[in-house]
Amino acid sequence: MDVSDSTTIRINITVPRWLVGELEREVPERGKSGFISEAIEEKLVRKKRDKALKEVANLPPTFKDIADGKEYINKIRKAEDVLRRTRLGL
């Protein structure tokens, strides 16, 4: 993420002293804003993904009557292959 983008804004945040110490030890002086922006972005992506996964997990089952998904898909593919060969005259 490019923090020099004209759409960036300055914010003031409060963080634990030990965390600032870790940040100062690990990140160069001129890279802190980018590092923090990237960390926030990663956390937000993870949070959105987790929320979406929970929503999907709560959906009703789609194929309740299919015992073995792999077998079901293979059966469909074989049937499609037969149809395709028939249409192509093979």
How much is the pTM? 0.59
Span 32-65, pLDDT tens digits: 999 999 999 999 999 999 999 999 988 887 777 8
Distances (CA, A) of 81 to 22, 65, 74, 87: 59, 24, 10, 10
Return the domain boundaries, the chain: 1-59, 62-90
